[in-house]
């Protein structure tokens, strides 16, 4: 019996945790049914390294931006920089960007400025925005909604673990919610309920590896192959088979990331 085809929509293959292991990680992912993955650049000085990983491995695509927790300690990215790198055939998303007031509330103003710039890049390029949101639900909803009124754009709320109100605000804008290993944790019933109330055609799955390994690997290093465990829980949440859930999330990914869907290996 073969595993259903899945996409890990968000991982960090350039992190030191995976140094020297990427070919093996990609192979293990393929064996688990994870045929594509998007590795995320969180600081622009790392963009060449992240790009090189995508260039070296056919199943790997990449996105780039400045993580909100890095905004205060790194050179700000310009709109022109973001737009220029989107010309790469395997660069498929803007971010991750967003707001994190849990660890870095002192840089809230700078985070908001950075977020708005990333939104403009998404609006101008047509690539989806990849959002990190933590302890900033009201500001996040306000900024996403007001920007959308100026010019529509597409977006995924990566590793969604925020409130039902933020979920509804995002879904009302046509955005997507991405399910990580957090959804498999015993104490995450409220989060599972939020996902259960969302449209199935707006759900993605991800690992955010090396972080947030799903049950039964919680507390260990995460990797793209473990997407399958989160997908199994996702299928339970929606009351469908794993094959049905996997197929729908792949369809959702291709709709949100059309550049990845259209890419052909040279």
- Distance from C-alpha of 37 to C-alpha of 133, rounded to nearest angstrom: 21
What are the pLDDT digits (tens) for 50-70? 999 999 999 999 999 999 999
All structural domains of the chain with their residue ranges = 6-262
Once rounded to an integer, what is the mean pLDDT over residues 17-38? 97
Show Cβ contacts of residue 265 under 8 Å, excluding neighbours closer than 6 positions: 58
- Distance from C-alpha of 65 to C-alpha of 40, rounded to nearest angstrom: 8
pLDDT score for 1? 62
Strands (E) in the chain, as ranges, are: 6-11, 34-41, 60-64, 91-100, 129-134, 155-157, 176-179, 203-205
What are the pLDDT digits (tens) for 148-164? 999 999 999 999 999 99
CATH no., domain 6-262: 3.20.20.140
What are the pLDDT digits (tens) for 163-206? 999 999 999 999 999 999 999 999 999 999 999 999 999 999 99
Residue 54 burial (CB count, 10 A): 24
Longest dimension (CA), the chain: 52
CA torsion, points 234, 170, 125, 29, in degrees to nearest 10? -10
Percentage of the chain lying above the pLDDT 90 cut:
97
Query: What is the full DSSP assignment across 110-122?
Result: HHHHHHHHHHHHH
Residue 209 — φ and ψ, nearest 5°? -60, 145
pLDDT score for 2? 81
Is-above-0.75 flag for pTM?
Answer: yes
Show Cβ contacts of residue 149 under 8 Å, excluding neighbours closer than 6 positions: none
């Amino acid at each position: 019996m073969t595993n259903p085809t899945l996409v890990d929509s968000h991982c960090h293959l350039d992190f030191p945790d995976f140094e020297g292991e990427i070919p093996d990680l990609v192979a293990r992912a393929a064996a688990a049914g994870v045929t594509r993955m998007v590795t995320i650049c969180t600081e622009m000085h790392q963009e060449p390294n992240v790009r090189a990983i995508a260039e070296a491995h056919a199943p790997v695509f990449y996105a780039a931006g400045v993580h909100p927790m890095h905004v205060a300690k790194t050179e700000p990215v310009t709109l022109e920089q973001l737009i220029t790198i989107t010309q790469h055939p395997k660069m498929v998303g803007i971010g991750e960007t967003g707001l994190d007031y849990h660890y870095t509330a002192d840089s809230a103003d700078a985070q908001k400025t950075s977020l708005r710039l990333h939104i403009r890049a998404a609006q101008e390029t047509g690539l989806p925005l990849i959002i990190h949101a933590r302890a900033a639900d009201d500001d996040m909803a306000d900024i996403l909604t007001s920007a959308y009124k100026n010019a529509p754009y597409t977006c995924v709320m990566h590793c969604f673990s925020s409130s039902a109100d933020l979920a509804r605000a995002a879904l009302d804008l046509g955005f997507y919610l991405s399910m990580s290993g957090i959804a498999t944790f015993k104490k995450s019933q409220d989060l599972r309920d939020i996902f259960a109330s969302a449209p199935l055609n707006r759900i993605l799955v991800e690992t955010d590896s090396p972080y947030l390994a799903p049950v039964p690997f919680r507390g260990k290093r995460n990797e793209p192959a473990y997407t399958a465990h989160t997908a199994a829980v996702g299928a339970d949440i929606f009351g469908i088979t794993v094959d049905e859930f996997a197929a729908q999330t792949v369809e959702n990914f291709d709709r949100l990331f059309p550049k990845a869907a259209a890419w052909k290996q040279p």
